[in-house]
């Protein structure tokens, strides 16, 4: 199922992880229980601490923009926010007053040649790589490499079947029956820290942390373009 065609159709409604700034949000809290983590803590440790106001930030698969709204709030008018999604997210994610330049691209492949080289300081996704096969993940980070500035930071959540096994499949909202199926038949393909590190280092990135240990079900890596 995690083919390009499936990904394009599955999230047509625009996935949301809830509101990241409210003290209490039902959707966010449900997502937090499934992943075993605190999204507000993730915002502080991974977005607030790494994004400077004048950065050019790229987000992959923002959906309705749960994380995008946080990113936009961190950038000033000298910054830039760009999204890549199979859906038209312009109907969900809008610019803020005195905020950064906002640009949305509705894509149909992992070809990012339309983006400028050496353009972005920061690349983010959450809830995206976990639905992609290893081959697709490789393409994403191979093709995005020239688009990142030297020293740019990339932070992404990804599926980690070893952590999922310890956390609990049903608790994590992933069907245990997936263990007996091929990756092209499921929406949570196999991945782990060893495989993710191989992809990143194979494409020339320096891995700063293969897992930030902020959530129990999945891993979140931090890497840098050398």
For residue 2, name the pLDDT band (cuts at 50, 70, 90). Answer: low
Structure tokens at 157: 């959540």
pLDDT at 10: 67
Please state the rounded mean pLDDT for residues 47-51. Answer: 98
Give the model confidence (pLDDT) of 151-180 as tens digits.
Answer: 999 999 999 999 999 999 999 999 999 999
What are the residue ranges spanned by the domains of the chain? 1-120, 156-226
Sign of the Cα pseudo-torsion (181, 182, 184, 189, in order) = positive
**Packing angle, helices 193-202 and 134-144, rounded to 10:** 30
Residue 82 pLDDT? 98
Task: Say yes or no to pLDDT of 6 above 70.
Answer: no
Judge whether residue 4 has pLDDT over 70: no
> The pTM is what?
0.95
In this predicted structure, what is the pLDDT of residue 135?
95
């Amino acid at each position: 199922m995690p083919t390009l065609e499936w990904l394009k159709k599955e999230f047509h409604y625009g996935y949301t992880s809830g509101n990241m700034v409210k003290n209490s949000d039902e959707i966010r809290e449900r997502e937090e229980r499934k992943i075993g983590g605190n999204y507000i803590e993730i915002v502080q440790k991974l977005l607030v601490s790494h994004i400077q106001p004048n950065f050019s930030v790229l987000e992959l698969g923002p959906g309705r923009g749960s994380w995008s709204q946080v990113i936009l709030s961190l950038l000033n008018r000298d910054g830039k926010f760009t999204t890549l999604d199979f859906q038209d997210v312009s109907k969900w994610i809008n610019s803020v007053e005195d905020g950064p330049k906002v640009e949305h691209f509705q894509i149909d492949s992992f070809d990012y040649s339309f983006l400028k080289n050496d353009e972005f300081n920061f690349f983010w996704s959450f809830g995206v790589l976990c639905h992609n096969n290893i081959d697709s993940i490789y393409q994403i980070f191979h093709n995005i490499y020239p688009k990142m500035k030297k020293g740019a930071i990339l932070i992404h959540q990804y599926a980690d079947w070893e952590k999922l096994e310890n956390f609990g499949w049903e608790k994590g909202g992933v069907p245990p029956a997936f263990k007996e199926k091929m990756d092209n038949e499921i929406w949570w393909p196999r991945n782990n820290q060893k495989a993710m590190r191989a992809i990143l280092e194979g494409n020339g990135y320096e891995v700063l942390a293969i897992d930030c240990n902020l959530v129990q079900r999945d891993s979140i890596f931090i890497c840098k373009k050398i």
